[in-house]
Amino acid sequence: MSAPQIITTPAGEELVVLPRQEYEALLARADHDAEDADDIAIYDSRKAELSLGGTALPREISAAILRGESRLKAIRNWRDVTQLHLNFKTGISQSYLSELESGQRKGTPETMAKLAEALDVSAEWLA
């Protein structure tokens, strides 16, 4: 690692100049730390739910959520159900299901209860 160069602007602001490779390494580290923080937040949330008597999600679902999938999509895939099949079971359109899974829309409590029943899971899993 080379020593950074510090430049003072006419306004008195200090700027740091460093090699691009070191800058990119810092960015990569920041992305990694942010990802870790997200994982920790999800873990803490799950732990809090369990301490309040909640039902733990299966490991496969939690792992899919950590990879960025919505709960609904993770549970649907865990149950090995397609959006089309869920559409037939619930009457909820495939496009609406897609919007729910992508987070573009939030389902009403009635819709989420219908999906939970069709996926044979507790409604709190989709909350």
Q: What angle do CA 35, 66, 126 make, to 5 degrees?
A: 135
Cα dihedral sign, 48-116-79-120: positive
28-51 pLDDT, tens digit each: 887 777 677 777 777 777 666 666
Q: Cα–Cα distances in Å, from 79 out to 3, 13, 17?
A: 54, 57, 52
1-19 pLDDT, tens digit each: 677 888 999 999 999 898 8
pTM listed for this prediction? 0.60
Distance in angstroms (rounded) separating the CA atoms of residues 32 and 27: 9
Distance in angstroms (rounded) separating the CA atoms of residues 96 and 111: 10
Assign domain 57-126 one CATH number from 2.60.40.1180, 1.10.260.40, 3.30.379.10, 3.10.180.10.
1.10.260.40
The domain segmentation of the chain, as residue ranges, is 1-54, 57-126
